Structure 1
Amino acid sequence: MNSNVWINGYNVVWSGRYANQVGDLIVPSIASEISDIRGGAEQEFPIDYSIAMGSIPYVSASEILRGDAVLSRVAGRDIIIGTNASGAGNRYSVPGHGPSASVFVSALAAETLLAGAPSTYGWWLPFLLALAVTAMMMRVSRTPLVLGMLVLLPTCALGLPFLLESAGYYTAIMPATVLMLGSMGHLAWQLHRQRFDERGMLNEVSGHPNLNALRAEGAETQDGLIAARIHNYAEAATALPVAAEKELVEQIILRLSLGNGGCKVYHGDEGIFMWLVPGTSINNVGDQLAGLSAIFRSPANVSGRLIDLGVAFGVDADPGRSIQSRMSSALLACQEAQNAGEHWRVYDPTKLEATEWRVTMLGELDAAIDNGEVWVAFQPKLDLLSGEICGAEALVRWTHPEKGPINPEEFITAAERHDRIEKLTEHVLNRAVQVAASLNKGGRKFDMAVNLSPRLIGHANLKPMVVQTLRRHGLPAERLILEITETAAMSSAEAAMQELRDLRSIGLQLSIDDYGTGFSTLDYLKRCPATELKIDRSFVRMLVSSRSDRIMVNSTIELAHSLGEEVVAEGVEDNETLQLLGQMGCDKAQGYLIGRPMPYEALVDYLADHSTAKAA
């Protein structure tokens, strides 16, 4: 008989053999010999480890040597003789029992065969059943069915094999178990993601569907989209207790639902609400929105407080674009309606190109400065006393390669609003000072004026930028004039006013532009370190025909002279106005009559022609 046992790579004995082949000889195993059940060489059978190891009686060698009565204990039994010492080196891991000697493993194998040769069916039967249950579980969505599948899956993967083992039919359960654990882990992850996604579809304050839910549900919709925005939502929410904000939102949604025909309302943040309207009725939505506006005229009673709610509506009726773009369009229409003092407005798709340009304009502006698309034009100034061209104003221009000339007011205002004006100003200042330095060579005295954005007054980089630019090109500071608007100068804080004094202290000139459009006071004019006043073109244009404008311009000239300041009149377009300004004692004039804004090369030619004409 062969007493060897078969172990796997983890030193664990899972099965026994009917016989082992030694050379040409087939030697039956102890279990096969005792049970008289034969099998092929190296053919395995599963050992029934449900048999308790402690139920196998044994007699130790020491008992036999002492002569103890052991015959009664072994009478009529098959006897297996082997070692059981822990240091003998023949101990193996047995499932459910821990390390055991090979003699006990052989005894369990014999007990297994004495109960009948076990049948094995491999791993495929429980695996296929578990696979079928897993497939069904992945396809159902109702929670009770999913829970039922979760119970059925371990039954197929584990319960069925245990039931078959009790009848002597053995099968491997590891593949089915791995499939079961993987499927249950995947399902747990899906449920977690589903709950997470569901939370992401609800507004945290109100619990109503939010704009993420609208994006998901309206991805393929052909319906019209309406947005409502409560102008003073933040103010109203701040005035209420924290717990009352939900009550405020509930009242808003209730009013919207009453007036929109029961459509589902999606709640965004900061007082934004949206809903979808069937495409067949979107063209008649005006009556609906007029009714909603009337509903919101009544204040909302929230926690005993009456809250007035200002609302504007925006409509997007174009189903050809993505829901995200349409949501933005509807909100833009809301903003336009609010700005215009209207209750609602429909988004105009023809404005899309202009909107896209405004969005991308600032992104292109920096590159345009670097590649020369942004350039500086120069408008000459005339000294009314001498008749000489005494200077020019530097004016920024942008010639886009596709759109052509861009309105300066458009991109300058955008740059100021988005804190991009510093680079633009530095570009204009550098070019203007470079040109002025070139024109002042040879003894000519030619002043250069550069507009200064209100955003830069008091900026830490302003003075160093001006000083470095003057030094770079070698222009005397007195030849540079920085122009600030009257409104910006008046609104400057004391720290900004000190910055103007610091700039004046290095020798350059300061001019108050657009004088007459603000509300300057004598005290302000006394404190401001200006060297020049520029009378706004709106007064100069009507100088000949308007007596009041003549009085205002004349008094401004006298006031400026009394303060030691010069006066420049801008917007001069005819000789009669120019002569009248000279009679009033105005110092300088600027306008289309003297010269339009022009490139540097044209300015050089203009100055040469003017000098020739004056000499003639």
Structure 2
Amino acid sequence: MTGKPGEAFPIDYAVRLKSLPYVSAGEVLDRRASLDQLRGRDVIIGTNATGIGNRYAVPGQGPSASVFVTALAAETLLDGAPVTYGWWVPFLVAFLTSALLMRVSRTQLVLGMIATLPVCAVGLPLLLESLGRYADIMPALVLMLGAMGHHAWKLHRQTFDERGMVNEVSGQPNLNALRAAGLDSQDGLIAARIHNYAEAATALPSAAEKELVDQIIMRLTLGNGGCKVYQGDEGIFMWLMPAAGINNVGDQLAGLSAIFRSPANVSGRLIDLNIAFGVDADPGRTIQSRMSSALLACQEAQNAGEHWRVYDPTKLEATEWRVSMLGELDAAIDNGEVWVAFQPKLDLLSGEICGAEALVRWTHPEKGPINPEEFITAAERHDRIEKLTDHVLNRAVQVAAKLNSNGQRFDMAVNLSPRLIGHANLKPMVIQTLRRHGLPAERLILEITETAAMSSADAAMQELKDLRSLGLQLSIDDYGTGFSTLDYLKRCPATELKIDRSFVKMLVTSRSDRIMVNSTIELAHSLGEEVVAEGVEDSETLQLLAQMGCDKAQGYLIGRPMPYEALIDYLASYSPAKAA
């Protein structure tokens, strides 16, 4: 027996407890056991009671009394003191194996490493233990399980990412794959968009969409020199073009346009494909922004009826402003940046100022005055015109109510967007605004463009009649720029025609314009409507209009659009002689 007093050592639990002979004290006392059985043997005396603290779990053999555990320890020492390596040997093996596992990607090698890892971390210690050498495997097991879990998660993410790089319908690489491939690319980016793709895909059986995509990609690959094509949604396709060939991109895209003139034969059906191309040749921006700009160039080409167009970086600032403008518009209305100017109207019979037109203005703190046509059009396109109209209407009615409070007649005209004609909130908005400020309805004029009024459906025409029934006035703005018919003029509940400035401007020099304006005045009067001429800038034009019997005039000669405070000063100082 070897070993030092007080030195700890591992017990060899491979020794079976049943192989250890023992004699109970009761058998010796009752002489049922002979002492000869103990002669010449090493004897361990201990209790075999089942009390608490006397029994220990023996691996693979269940609970046993402490005396038997002591006997197993003695048997271990009889075979020689165990050699203990500690935890670092299996941990080092597991660490090296795990490190190698993290660096490999080939499937067979990965599977081999996964099989080797538990063998090295568990099998090796078991082999050493059979030779009387022991090692602590718990740290190695923890490392092994962590490494295997990490690699399993890595494989799962890799599979998920690969699935996210492929279009589910066609199996072609998608735009996520392009983002990864073009991350540091200096190549040009080409975008192609089939503008009638949704229509074409809808007309085909569901299983035929892949065939359609395959034909599109085959044509694109044929014409782009074999560059890899990536598929997006809704008929979008992109590829990276080597920087060396970007100067000849026009010839390539012209050739591709010619290829797509022939319809695609999909499942026996001839499908015409309306395609346009966009190019971004600036490698200095991120791939994501270049993809967006190439698509923007695509859209511009399609809108212009062209086959392709190169994105112009100088438009980037304007594009960013258009995107952010709507986001700033609501706040601009609330903080007073959007305000209302008033342009006076002259009554040609009395020579007095009889009203004004409310015109919206936006003074941006950084960009200065914003073109009204720009932000009004954007608000109409993106369904934000209601708040803007409510703001202008409220301010216009408020001013009109103040000007009418002293008993004088002062009409206020407000432009009405075509998008609001027939809108459920329009009539309540007008009624509430008139009531809020106490303005008589007949002092409010809502102006609608001739084109918008003509295109109004029956329901919208009824809406105009409902508004007219409130007592307010309706004016057809920009008259002469549309194609009004006598039947339309008869049905429309307008009280006023407003002759477009393009005809008024040439009134003195153009005989045809004089005839048109004069006949319009006579026609309007025959229908019981008044006539307003806008764009009056000189006294001669004003005198001609008065001679023709025009009722009112508006233009720079009478007054430019001005803030409310300036309008008050203007009205206080105005005299009929100024307009003569």
TM-score by length of structure 2 reads 0.93
Whether 1:609 and 2:564 are equivalent positions in the alignment is no
| Matches of 1:483 and 1:59, distance apart in 2 | 118
Summarize the Cα distance change of 1:321–1:89 in structure 2 as closer, same or farther, 3 Å threshold. closer
The residue aligned with 2:229 is: 265
Whether 1:385 and 2:349 are equivalent positions in the alignment is yes
Distance in 2, matches of 1:377 and 1:119, equals 98
In the TM superposition, residue 614 of structure 1 has moved relative to its aligned partner by 6.7
| Deviation larger for 106-115 or 252-261 | 106-115
Structure 2: state its 5+ residue gaps: none
Q: 1:429 to 1:78 in 2, by over 3 A?
A: same
Given candidates 100, 105, 129, the residue that maps to 1:141 is 105
Q: Note the C-alpha offset of 1:82.
A: 3.9
Between 352-361 and 70-79, report the one with greater CA deviation: 70-79
Q: Give 1:446-465 correspondences, 5 Å limit.
A: 446-465=410-429
SS at match of 1:382: strand
Change (3 A) 1:502 1:67: farther
- Superposed CA deviations along residues 261-300 of structure 1, whole A, max 9, x for unmatched, are 1111111111111111111221111111111111111111
1:122 and 2:83 correspond: no
453-462 or 81-90: bigger deviation: 81-90
Q: Render the CA deviation track for 1:510-567: whole Å, top value 9, x for unaligned.
A: 2121223333344443443322221222333344444544444344333333332222
In the TM superposition, residue 386 of structure 1 has moved relative to its aligned partner by: 1.6
- One-letter amino acid of the counterpart of residue 508, structure 1: L
Report the Cα offset of residue 497 of structure 1. 3.3
Partners of 2:44 and 2:529 in 1: CA distance? 126
3-state DSSP of counterpart to 2:574: helix
Aligned-pair distance for 1:472? 3.0
Structure 1 window deviating more from structure 2 (172-181 vs 537-546): it is 537-546
When residues 506 and 257 of structure 1 are mapped into structure 2, their CA distance, relative to the original with a 3 A threshold, is same
Offset of residue 366 of structure 1: 2.2
CA contact (8 A) 1:223 1:277 kept: yes
Code of the aligned partner of 1:571: G
| Equivalent residues of 2:504, 2:533 under 8 A apart | yes
1:489 and 2:458 aligned: no
* Aligned-pair CA distance for 1:249: 0.7
Instruction: State the shift of 1:501 in Å.
Output: 3.0
The answer to whether structure 1 residue 47 and structure 2 residue 11 are counterparts is: yes
Matching of residue 408 in structure 1 with residue 372 in structure 2: yes
Find the residue that maps to 2:206 and give its secondary structure.
coil
Distance 1:79 1:136 in 2: 53
Structure 2 match to 1:91 = 55
TM-score by length of 1: 0.88
Structure 1 residue 78: deviation in Å?
4.8
Q: 1:362: Cα distance to partner? A: 1.4
**Structure 2 counterparts to residues 307-318 of structure 1, below 5 A:** 307-318=271-282
Q: Which amino acid aligns with 2:74?
A: A
Structure 1 63/458 Cα, relative in aligned 2: closer, same or farther at 3 Å?
Answer: farther
Letter in 2 for 1:197: D
Q: Is the 8 A contact 2:351 2:579 kept in 1?
A: no
Judged with a 3 Å threshold, the aligned counterparts in structure 2 of structure 1 residues 484 and 58 are, in CA distance, closer, same or farther, namely farther
CA positional deviation for 1:173:
0.5
**1:439 aligned to 403, 421, 429, which one?**
403
The whole-number CA distance in structure 2 between the counterparts of 1:174 and 1:516 is: 92
User: Given the alignment, which residue of 486, 489, 495 partners 1:531?
Assistant: 495
1:58–1:552: structure 2 CA closer, same or farther, 3 Å change rule? farther
Q: Which residue of 2 aligns with 1:242?
A: 206
Q: Secondary structure at the match of 2:575?
A: helix
C-alpha distance in structure 1 between counterparts of 2:421 and 2:527, whole Å = 23
Determine what percentage of the aligned residue pairs are the same residue: 84
1:195 to 154, 159, 165: 159
Q: Which residue of 2 aligns with 1:253?
A: 217
CA deviation vs aligned residue, 1:208-233 (integer Å, no higher than 9, x gap): 22111111121111111111111111
| More deviation, 459-468/393-402 | 459-468
Take 1:80 and 1:224, find their aligned partners in 2: how far apart are those partners? 88
Distance 1:63 1:584, change over 3 A: farther
Q: Which residue of 2 aligns with 1:16?
A: none
- Any residues of structure 2 matched to 1:305-454 within 5 Å, and which? 305-454=269-418
Hey, what's the Cα distance between the residues in 2 that align with 1:599 and 1:456? 26
Residue 501 of structure 1: aligned partner: 465
> Could you say which residue in structure 2 is the equivalent of 1:25?
none
Pick aligned residue for 2:483 from 496, 516, 519: 519
Quote the offset at 1:496 in angstroms. Answer: 3.3
Maintained 8 Å contact 1:59/1:70? no
Distance change in 2, residues 1:499/1:76 (3 Å): farther
Query: Partners of 1:98 and 1:455 in 2: how far apart?
Result: 86
Residue 476 of structure 2 aligns with an amino acid whose one-letter code is I
**Distance in 2 of aligned mates of 1:66 and 1:309:** 108
Does the CA contact (< 8 Å) of 1:231 and 1:271 recur in 2?
yes
Q: Does 2:557 align with 1:593? A: yes
Write the distance in 1 (CA, Å) between the matches of 2:463 and 2:555.
30
Structure 1 residue corresponding to 2:529, chosen from 560, 565, 585: 565
Contact 2:44–2:71, Cα closer than 8 Å, also in 1 = yes
Once the two structures are superposed, what CA deviation does each residue of 1:24-47 show, in whole Å capped at 9, x if it has no partner?
A: xxxxxxxxxxxxx24333311111
Letter in 2 for 1:209: P
- The answer as to whether partners of 2:501 and 2:536 remain within 8 angstroms in 1 is yes
Matched AA of 1:434 = Q
Deviation at residue 72 of structure 1 after TM alignment: 9.4
Q: Match of 1:465, as an amino acid?
A: M
* Alpha-carbon contact 1:572-1:578 (below 8 Å) kept: yes
- The alpha-carbon distance between structure 1 residues 610 and 49, as it changes in their structure 2 partners (threshold 3 A), is same
Give SS of 2:547's match.
helix
Aligned partner (choices 113, 118, 125) of residue 161 of structure 1: 125
Query: Which of 176, 181, 205 in structure 2 is aligned with 1:217?
Result: 181
Cα–Cα, structure 1 residues 113 and 540, in superposed 2: closer, same or farther, change >3 Å?
same
User: CA, structure 1 residues 431+48, in 2 after alignment: closer, same or farther (shift >3 Å)?
Assistant: same
Unaligned 5+ segments in structure 1 are 1-36
What's the CA shift string for 1:352-384, capped at 9, x where partnerless? 111111111112222322333222221111112
Q: 1:522 and 1:162 mapped to 2: Cα distance? A: 104
When residues 140 and 581 of structure 1 are mapped into structure 2, their CA distance, relative to the original with a 3 A threshold, is same
Q: Tell me the distance in 2 between the aligned counterparts of 1:614 and 1:237.
A: 67
Secondary structure, counterpart of 1:46 in structure 2: coil
Is contact 1:544–1:576 with CA below 8 Å preserved after alignment? yes
CA RMSD in angstroms comes to 2.5
Q: Using a 3 Å threshold, how does the CA distance of structure 1 residues 149 and 393 change in structure 2: closer, same or farther? A: same
How many angstroms does 1:192 deviate by?
0.8
Give CA deviations for 1:399-424 in whole Å, capped at 9, x if unaligned: 22332221110010011111221222
Q: Counterpart in 2 of 1:293? A: 257
Partners of 1:88 and 1:202 in 2: how far apart? 65
The number of aligned residues is 580
Judge which range, 74-83 or 241-250, deviates more.
74-83
CA distance in 2, matches of 1:141, 1:615: 88
Matched, 1:206 2:160: no
